[in-house]
Amino acid sequence: MSVVERMKLWGLKKSPWVYHLNTGACNNCDIEILELLTPRFDVERLGVLLAPSPRHADALLVTGICTKQARPRLQEIYRQTPKPCLVVCIGACACTGGIFHDGWHFDGPVDEAIREVDPDAMIIYIPGCPPKPEAMIATIAKALGDL
């Protein structure tokens, strides 16, 4: 690994800026993400900052099944995110399709859509309906520790 790559990874782990992306969620996971960012859990004290654009982000927080309309947009946003970046599938729907796996609007789980663009993408999964904010913090901390 080159020095530049090591520095990029250090920057990602030191303070991951996240971009929140809803690809067809019911809003429940999104509410839990807001819970993370607001004073009760306040992940900003750990260096996690909500970024206003995917071009500024280190991690994509993806919620919801990947709908037919959202799939090309999700892939475009992944392309716009500077690499290395993490894709965090939040909730049962983003991980597997959940209860909507045979829905007419479903177009494959989120990881499938991302791997179509980048087979080596770093994808982490936080199942739950919705996952608890503690679970999200623990998973992201664990993932960053493993990098």
Q: Structure tokens of 4? A: 């530049």
Residue pair 33/20 in contact by the 8 Å Cβ criterion: yes
Identify the H or E element spanning 5.
helix 3-14
- Closest to other proteins by CB, 67 vs 139, is 67
- Closest to other proteins by CB, 55 vs 101, is 101
Can residue 68 be called a binding residue for other proteins (CB under 8 A)? Answer: yes
CA distances to 60, 84, 147 from 25, rounded to whole Å, are 15, 25, 28
| Least distance CB 69 / other proteins (angstroms) | 4
Restricted to residues 6-65, the positions that interact with other proteins (CB under 8 A) are none
Cα dihedral value 62, 37, 144, 14, nearest 10: 130
Can residue 69 be called a binding residue for other proteins (CB under 8 A)? Answer: yes
Determine which residue in the list 67, 92, 114, 130 makes contact with other proteins, applying CB under 8 A.
67
The site for other proteins (CB under 8 A) is made up of 67-69, 102, 104-105
